């Protein structure tokens, strides 16, 4: 088994240094914090104060504002004063892209500054990366170091924390030229800055590795932890799936990605990015954090050594085809006597094979894998397994798959989890956080989410199951929307625009469409999308096909019709 730096056998939080953000602590054994980002114009003091107070009342513990220029950075002082005058001490974070001077100003005002290594100093990538000589690569690192050390010195002087926030879609041209558009490139982008922090004796640093692709996001964070451990760094982690969108899909994507890492004991603060009012993010984040609280005392899970598992790359476990399940087929969806094999779920009393006979299934847990059971499975390779869990959740079910791999068994496995929830959002978050990590790791030939309370319609449970498989990128069954949550740079009403784009395109199964508020991360983060709708200026939109601009700066009122023309 490839070496992992988190414990596969027991839930245990990773130990980090303590970072102080105003009166709040991150890492170092402190609770996992929940935060959000304002989407108001940073020059509109009254609106920013009002929104920050709504976030704080919802239970948010940090609030972030974009500061795209000197003027916006300076106005953080007035925003902070207004929030404090209202009796609220929530720490403020400045979000910086492209403009080191704005970061220098913000570091003297707010409690934390977030910079993006891809555009703090380096040239952002545009299209295919150019060739970089070793001399040019090193020269650019020297310029970066000079600017970054100045920011570190300001942070030291003012007690300001720092987030080094890598975005998959905005890696610099220099990093892309050497590492490509990969999780490894994201890690190196972060580690360059981390090494400078260590050299300068500055440890009030948090890292993030965000992507709209949940699989990329999970691998990038795990690789970063491995890289930090190799260089004796112990900085806390800010977790999030960027550009997740809204509604069910956004909650499931976020819970699957953030949940996979929280289950590994990684993560010290989270932000659930929703294309909705930012205060909506806080209850979602708090439910997700609560789902992982109190797991430290769970029993140890025996984990066999297996070459079939990697925490850092996707490998689907090999299984045979039985009854239309397993083999090369995408995972099926099962729900209370309903099984789907390549078509929408149909009522059935059992799994139906191609010959009309219902093959037997075996309901097993990790504890059931005795030698007698293993012998039975060896003699019956067509046996379909329904994998249940006692208490250890992800660790227990992952260990079951590792045991099958170690024993050379290829029986198809349907992963089952039972809940008793009356609230749909809570069911979505719990199921995605429990089952999403397994499919992200390549485990499972089917998914079965069972809600024993029976108060949530079966169709909602089925929809949730498909959403989990889509979030893990193992079965694409619907249009996927890569949509940012919006911020002070946003150039149109994002929630309304996303709804309009969805209404016009949701029938296009399997397409990925990006809806982005501005060009900061838009073209990059939606690079995984087939088509993109990006704010280009007040009332203007640029449309993309992949990374290629198709229509530039068209009036917003024409944009959806033009997008449909491109899609036709």
pLDDT tier, 343 (very low <50, low <70, confident <90, very high otherwise) = very low
pLDDT tier, 529 (very low <50, low <70, confident <90, very high otherwise) = confident
Residue 345: per-residue pLDDT: 47
The string of pLDDT tens digits covering residues 219-246 is: 999 999 999 999 999 999 999 998 777 7
Beta strand residue intervals within 287-367, DSSP E: 321-322, 325-326, 332-334, 338-340, 346-347, 361-364
* Topology of the domain covering 480-567: Sulfite Reductase Hemoprotein; domain 1 (3.30.413)
Instruction: Output the DSSP codes for 391-438.
Output: SSTHHHHHHHHHHHHHTT----EEEEEEE--S-HHHHHHHHHHHHHHH
**Is the pLDDT score of 44 beyond 60?**
yes
Q: Under a CB-based contact definition with an 8 Å cutoff, are residues 301 and 421 in contact?
A: no
Residue 20: per-residue pLDDT: 98
Residue % of the chain over a pLDDT of 70? 89
Residue 290 CB neighbours (<10 A): 14
Average pLDDT over residues 467-478: 93
pLDDT tier, 340 (very low <50, low <70, confident <90, very high otherwise) = low
Q: Under a CB-based contact definition with an 8 Å cutoff, are residues 380 and 288 in contact?
A: no
**Is the pLDDT score of 10 beyond 80?**
no
3-state helix, strand, coil in the chain (%, to 5): 40, 20, 40
In Å, the largest CA–CA distance within the chain is 74
3-state secondary structure of 387: strand
- The residue whose two tokens read 């075996």 is 362
In angstroms, how far is CA 339 from the centroid of its own chain? 29
Task: Give which of 429, 390, 389, 392 is closest to 413, Cα–Cα.
Answer: 389
Half-sphere exposure of 294 (CA within 13 A, CB side): 4
CA 298-439-419 angle, 5° bins = 55
What burial letters (b/e) apply to 44-67, b meaning 16+ CB within 10 Å? ebebbbebbbbbbebebbbbbbbb
Cα separation, 400 vs 457, whole angstroms = 31
Q: How far is CA 512 from CA 478, 492, 529, 545, in A?
A: 9, 21, 5, 11
Per-range mean pLDDT, top range of 149-153, 450-454, 457-461 = 149-153
User: DSSP state, 344?
Assistant: S
* Topology of the domain covering 19-291: TIM Barrel (3.20.20)
Average pLDDT over residues 184-210: 97
CA 112-105-486 angle, 5° bins = 60
Please state the domain extents for the chain: 19-291, 321-471, 480-567
Give the alpha-carbon dihedral of 186, 187, 193, 195, to 10 degrees.
-170
Average pLDDT over residues 210-218: 93
pLDDT tier, 346 (very low <50, low <70, confident <90, very high otherwise) = very low
Q: How far is CA 567 from CA 544, 554, 559, in A?
A: 11, 17, 12
Pair of tokens at residue 247: 């509604």
What burial letters (b/e) apply to 516-527, b meaning 16+ CB within 10 Å? bbbbbbbbbbbb
Q: Beta strands 269-270 and 238-239: pairing type?
A: parallel
The string of pLDDT tens digits covering residues 14-27 is: 999 999 999 999 99
The dihedral built from the CA positions of residue 184, 188, 191 and 193, taken in this order, carries a sign that is negative
Residue 183: per-residue pLDDT: 93
Pair of tokens at residue 128: 């295919």
3-state secondary structure of 543: strand
3-state secondary structure of 504: helix
Average pLDDT, the chain: 88
Beta strand residue intervals within 122-237, DSSP E: 161-167, 205-210
Cα separation, 414 vs 386, whole angstroms = 5
Cα separation, 522 vs 169, whole angstroms = 8
Q: Under a CB-based contact definition with an 8 Å cutoff, are residues 210 and 239 in contact?
A: no
The string of pLDDT tens digits covering residues 287-312 is: 999 999 877 777 777 777 767 688 89
Residue 477 CB neighbours (<10 A): 17
Helix (H) or strand (E) holding 91: none
In angstroms, how far is CA 552 from the centroid of its own chain? 30
Residue 516 makes CB contacts below 8 A (sequence gap 6+) with 243, 482, 483, 484, 522, 523, 525, 526, 532, 533, 534, 535
Residue 349: per-residue pLDDT: 33
CB-count burial class (<10 Å; 0-12, 13-18, 19+) for 9: middle
Task: Give which of 481, 512, 522, 525 is closest to 499, Cα–Cα.
Answer: 481
Pair of tokens at residue 516: 């982005």
């Amino acid at each position: 088994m490839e070496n992992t730096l988190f414990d596969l056998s027991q839930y245990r939080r990773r130990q980090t240094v303590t970072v102080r953000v105003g009166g709040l602590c991150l890492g170092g054994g402190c609770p996992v914090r929940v935060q959000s980002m304002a989407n108001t114009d940073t020059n509109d003091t009254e609106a920013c104060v009002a929104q920050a107070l709504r976030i704080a009342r919802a239970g948010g513990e940090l609030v972030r504002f974009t500061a795209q220029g000197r003027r916006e950075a300076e106005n953080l002082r007035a925003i902070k004063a207004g929030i404090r005058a209202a009796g609220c001490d929530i720490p403020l974070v400045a979000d910086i892209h492209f403009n080191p001077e704005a970061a220098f100003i913000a570091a003297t005002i707010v409690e934390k500054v977030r910079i993006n290594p891809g555009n703090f100093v380096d040239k952002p990538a545009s299209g295919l990366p150019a060739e970089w000589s070793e001399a040019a690569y090193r020269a650019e690192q020297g310029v970066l170091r000079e600017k970054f050390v100045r920011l570190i010195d300001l942070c030291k002087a003012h007690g300001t924390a720092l987030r080094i926030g890598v975005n998959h879609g905005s890696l610099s041209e220099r990093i892309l030229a050497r590492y490509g558009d990969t999780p490894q490139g994201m890690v190196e982008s972060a580690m360059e800055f981390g090494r400078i922090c260590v050299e300068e004796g500055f440890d009030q640093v948090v890292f993030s590795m965000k992507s709209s692709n949940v699989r990329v996001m999970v691998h990038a964070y795990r690789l970063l932890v491995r890289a930090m451990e190799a260089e004796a760094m112990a900085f806390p982690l800010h977790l999030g799936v960027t550009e997740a969108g809204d509604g069910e899909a956004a909650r499931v994507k976020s819970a699957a990605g953030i949940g996979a890492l929280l289950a590994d004991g990684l993560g010290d603060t989270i932000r659930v990015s929703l294309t909705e009012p930012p205060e909506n993010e806080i209850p979602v984040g708090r439910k997700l954090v609560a789902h992982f609280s109190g797991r430290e005392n769970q029993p140890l899970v025996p984990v066999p050594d297996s070459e079939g598992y990697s925490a850092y790359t996707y490998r689907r476990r090999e299984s045979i085809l039985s009854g239309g399940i397993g083999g090369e087929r995408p995972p099926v969806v099962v729900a209370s006597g309903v099984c789907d094999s390549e078509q929408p779920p149909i009522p059935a009393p059992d799994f139906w094979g191609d010959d009309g006979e219902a093959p037997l299934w075996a309901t097993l847990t990790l504890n059931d894998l005795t030698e007698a059971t293993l012998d039975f499975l060896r003699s019956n390779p067509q046996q379909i397994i329904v994998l249940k869990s006692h208490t250890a959740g992800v660790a227990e079910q992952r260990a079951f798959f590792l045991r099958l791999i170690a024993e050379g068994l290829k029986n198809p496995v349907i992963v089952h989890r039972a809940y008793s929830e009356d609230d749909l959002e809570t069911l979505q978050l719990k199921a995605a956080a429990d089952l999403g990590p397994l499919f992200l790791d390549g485990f499972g030939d089917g998914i079965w989410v069972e809600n024993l309370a029976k108060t949530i319609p079966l169709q909602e449970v089925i929809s949730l199951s498909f959403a989990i498989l889509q979030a893990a990128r193992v079965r694409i069954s619907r249009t996927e929307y890569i949509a940012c949550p919006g911020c002070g740079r946003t150039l149109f009403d994002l929630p309304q625009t996303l709804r309009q784009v969805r209404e016009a395109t949701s029938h296009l199964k399997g397409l990925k469409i990006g809806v982005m508020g501005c060009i900061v991360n838009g073209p990059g983060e939606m690079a995984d999308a087939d088509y993109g709708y990006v704010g280009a200026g007040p009332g203007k939109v640029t449309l993309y096909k992949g990374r290629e601009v198709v229509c530039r700066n068209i009036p917003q009122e024409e944009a959806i019709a033009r997008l449909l023309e491109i899609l036709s």
